[in-house]
């Protein structure tokens, strides 16, 4: 069964228009969920409870006001209860997800290969918007995202990556890998969550602690009083007609009692890894060729993740050593784990290159227009954009 997985499952007989329609509708539904994630995850709110409500007046949304895209058009972009404008970002995310899903379906046909790409695209879209709005890449997305990337690459090995691996692994190590594929694959998926733990601890020991001290000394010894830079230009504030007070969001970041995260991202990633390796073992037992190709694919994903995040992490270290600044955020490094796992090491390199290029162009333009010396750019948003381009253009 697994040999066919990467080919079209039921290609003939089903018109392309129907495929695109189904994919777009699925994209709208997923986009609607992403809006919930984009709003709630940076605020450390549960994504399940309470029900969706208007951010201005708090009125819970009825089902007919919660239909993706359509409700926004019918309500003419205003809340039914208080008539305050609804952000255009909501329909934009829904339409964007639908468009991306349609493009993926067009490329893959009725195939399992659609699933990992759709998951990847969804997480990239959420991260892009959250980073643009809050200068934040939540662990709650990047941690499970990375584990999911390795697991999905093992369960649905991409054809191109497989071909490349066949060329590379023709030696003794290949034979070992195919003989023990089931165990190797499961260990690799589990190992992805351990890699997260390791990276987190290592970064904190080498850099994070020092950066925190640096920040604290700036806050105490600096000429300006501490609260003013936050008030002036709060990166966390909503860009709406009635901006949310920054202190409230900052409180949520500090872990306010009522808004505490219901689960820790590390443990979620570990549980997810255990579940995914269980599925891999169950499916791989039935089909030895799936186990072999899946183990290779998972190895490729881990190599891509290590190289992709390694490049960014080294530039983060370099920045600190040379300029005593946090030039590259740790969130970007963790995001590249996920991107590298999905796109492989080549795709990870191209993503970083393209994102740096796009970020530089944007930054220089911004500096010329606003005369601001050091604009803080949402590098994660550029990484997302670049990864989407690489995903769609290099196959
Ligand atoms: Zn309202």
pTM over 0.85: no
| Tokens, residue 94 | 């829904």
Q: Which of 114-118, 160-164, 228-232, 339-343 has the lowest mean pLDDT?
A: 228-232
**CA of 234 relative to ligand 1 center, distance in Å:** 24
Could you give the percent of the chain with pLDDT greater than 90? 45
| Tokens, residue 67 | 């239909």
User: Is 5 a residue whose pLDDT tops 70?
Assistant: no
Alpha helices in the chain (DSSP H): 2-5, 16-40, 70-74, 89-108, 114-134, 139-155, 159-168, 172-179, 181-203, 209-221, 228-232, 246-254, 265-286, 288-323, 330-370, 379-393
User: Is 284 a residue whose pLDDT tops 70?
Assistant: yes
**CA of 43 relative to ligand 1 center, distance in Å:** 19
Higher pLDDT, 48 or 268: 268
Largest pairwise CA distance in the chain: 71
The helix/strand/coil state of 60 is strand
The domain locations on the chain are 14-110, 114-230+260-395
pLDDT at position 355: 96
**CA of 138 relative to ligand 1 center, distance in Å:** 27
**CA of 259 relative to ligand 1 center, distance in Å:** 21
Q: Which of 51-55, 182-186, 199-203, 362-366 has the lowest mean pLDDT?
A: 51-55
User: Is 244 a residue whose pLDDT tops 70?
Assistant: no
pLDDT at position 1: 35
pLDDT at position 147: 96
**CA of 360 relative to ligand 1 center, distance in Å:** 39
In tens, the pLDDT along 289-336 reads 888 889 989 999 999 999 999 999 999 999 888 888 888 889 999 999
**CA of 237 relative to ligand 1 center, distance in Å:** 19
pLDDT at position 223: 43
In tens, the pLDDT along 343-354 reads 999 999 999 999
**CA of 129 relative to ligand 1 center, distance in Å:** 22
pLDDT at position 175: 67
263-283: average pLDDT: 91
- If pLDDT is split at 50, 70 and 90, which confidence band does 214 have? confident
User: Is 58 a residue whose pLDDT tops 50?
Assistant: yes
**CA of 45 relative to ligand 1 center, distance in Å:** 19
**CA of 135 relative to ligand 1 center, distance in Å:** 26
Distances (CA, A) of 381 to 254, 332, 352: 24, 9, 12
**CA of 282 relative to ligand 1 center, distance in Å:** 48
27-43: average pLDDT: 93
- If pLDDT is split at 50, 70 and 90, which confidence band does 163 have? low
**CA of 48 relative to ligand 1 center, distance in Å:** 20
**CA of 319 relative to ligand 1 center, distance in Å:** 45
Higher pLDDT, 227 or 127: 127
User: Is 164 a residue whose pLDDT tops 60?
Assistant: no
pLDDT at position 93: 96
């Amino acid at each position: 069964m697994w040999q066919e997985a990467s080919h079209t499952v039921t290609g003939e007989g089903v018109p392309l228009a129907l495929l695109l329609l189904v994919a777009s509708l699925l994209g709208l539904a997923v986009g609607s969920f992403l809006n919930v994630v984009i709003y709630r995850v940076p605020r450390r709110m549960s994504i399940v409870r309470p029900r969706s409500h208007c951010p201005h007046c708090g009125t819970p949304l009825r089902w007919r006001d919660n239909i993706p895209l359509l409700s926004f058009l019918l309500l003419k972009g205003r809340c039914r209860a208080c008539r305050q404008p609804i952000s255009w970002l909501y329909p934009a995310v829904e339409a964007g997800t639908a468009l991306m899903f349609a493009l993926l379906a067009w490329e893959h046909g009725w195939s399992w290969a659609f699933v990992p790409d759709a998951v990847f695209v969804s997480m990239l879209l959420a991260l892009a918007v959250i980073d643009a709005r809050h200068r934040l890449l939540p662990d709650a997305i990047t941690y499970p995202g990375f584990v999911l990337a390795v697991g999905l690459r093992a369960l649905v090995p991409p054809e191109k990556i497989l071909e490349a691996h066949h060329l590379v692994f023709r030696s003794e190590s290949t034979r070992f890998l195919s003989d023990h594929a089931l165990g190797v694959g499961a260990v690799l998926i589990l190992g992805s969550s351990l890699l997260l733990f390791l990276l987190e601890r290592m970064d904190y020991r080498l850099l994070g602690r020092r950066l925190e001290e640096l920040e604290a000394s700036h806050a105490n010894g600096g000429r300006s009083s501490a609260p003013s830079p936050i008030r002036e230009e709060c990166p966390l504030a909503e860009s709406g007609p009635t901006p949310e007070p920054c202190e409230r969001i900052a409180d949520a970041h500090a872990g306010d009692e009522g808004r505490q995260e219901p689960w820790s991202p590390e443990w979620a990633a570990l549980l997810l890894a255990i579940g995914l390796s269980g599925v891999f073992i169950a499916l791989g037992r039935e089909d030895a060729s799936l186990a072999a190709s899946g183990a290779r694919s998972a190895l490729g994903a881990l190599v891509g993740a290590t190289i992709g995040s390694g490049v960014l992490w080294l530039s983060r270290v370099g920045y600190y050593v040379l300029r005593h600044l946090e030039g590259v955020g740790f969130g970007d490094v963790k995001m590249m784990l996920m991107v590298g796992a999905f796109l492989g090491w080549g795709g990870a390199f191209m993503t970083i290159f393209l994102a740096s290029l796009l970020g530089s162009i944007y930054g220089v333009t911004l500096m010329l227009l606003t005369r601001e010396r050091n604009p803080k750019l949402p590098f994660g948003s550029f990484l997302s954009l670049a990864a989407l381009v690489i995903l769609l253009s290099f196959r």
